[in-house]
Amino acid sequence: MDVRSRNHVTVTGCPGGPVVMLAHGFGCDQNLWRLVVPALERDFTVVLFDHVGSGGSELSAWSPERYASLDGYADDVLELCRELALGPVTFVGHSVSAMMGVLAAGREPGAFAGLVLLAPSPCYVDDPATGYRGGFSAGDIDELLESLDANYLGWSGAMAPVIMGNPERPELGEELTNSFCRTDPGIARVFARATFLSDNRADLASVRVPTLVAQCSSDAIAPPEVGAFVHARIPGSRLVTLDATGHCPQLAAPEETAAAIAAFAGAAG
C-alpha cells in the first residue's frame, strides 16, 4: 500500500525549507494541528499525517498485531521519512507520539534533525520501587481501560475535558470529545492499551539527536515531574515549560506552541 495514502499525508509550507513533521496523539488526527500550521508553513516544509486507524488514514491497513505496541507506529514514521525523502526532519510528537519519535530516532537517528516531545510521557504508571511518578497508579489505569471497554463514547465524553483541561473554555473539551468519538471503538481500545500500558523509560537514553522537551505548566496526563524525567534521561536535551495548561497546547495555546517548535526546528534544521 502507498504510504502516503495509508497515512493520509499532507505536505504544505515552504518548499525547500527545513522539514517539520507533526504527529498527533491518541484519539486525534492531523486536524488538531491546524492552529499551529499557519505559523510554521511560512518558514518550514510541514508534513502532516494520520496514524493508521485515525482520521483519514486507510483503515484496512490497521491490524491489532502491528499496532498493539508503539513499535508499529514507530515503523510507520520511519517508512514515511523514507517515502517522502525530504531529508532529516524535526519530528514533533504530541503525547504518545513523543515516544514513537523516541523509538524511531533510536533506530534511525540519521532520519531526524531533531525531536520535539510535546507533553510527553514515557510511562503513565507510577513506579514506587524506583520513585518514578507517572501520574497514575496501576489501579487508575486498569479502571480507565475498563471504563473505555465498557462504554467508549461515555468514556470519551468524561475523559476528553479532563485531558484537555482549560475548563473555562469548554469548546476545547468538546472538540477533543468529538475527535475521540470519531475513532472506531475497537481501534481505540487497542491504541489505548498501547498508549497507557507502554513503558519507554529505558529507550530515552538511546536518543542521540537534538531534543526539545516541551511540557505544559499544568497537565493532568503528563505532570511536570514527567517532563523533568524525560529531560534528565535524554542526553543533551532542552526542557521548556509552556505557559499553556492542559494536555493539548496546540489547541489551547497555538501561538506559544508554534513559536517553541519554530525556534527549535529553525536551529536544528
Q: Kindly list the catalytic residues.
A: 95, 219, 247
- Sheet with strand 112-118: strands edge to edge: 10-13, 45-48, 19-23, 89-94, 112-118, 211-218, 238-245
Q: Could you tell me the end-to-end alpha-carbon distance of the chain, in angstroms, rounded to an integer? A: 30
Q: Which of 52, 19, 46 is nearest to 33 (CA)?
A: 46
φ/ψ of 172, rounded to 5, equals -70, -45
Written as one string, the DSSP assignment of 127-188 is BTTTTB--SB-HHHHHHHHHHHHH-HHHHHHHHHHHHH--TT-HHHHHHHHHHHHTS-HHHH
* 255: Cα within 13 Å, side-chain hemisphere: 0
φ/ψ of 244, rounded to 5, equals -55, 145
SS3 call for 11: strand
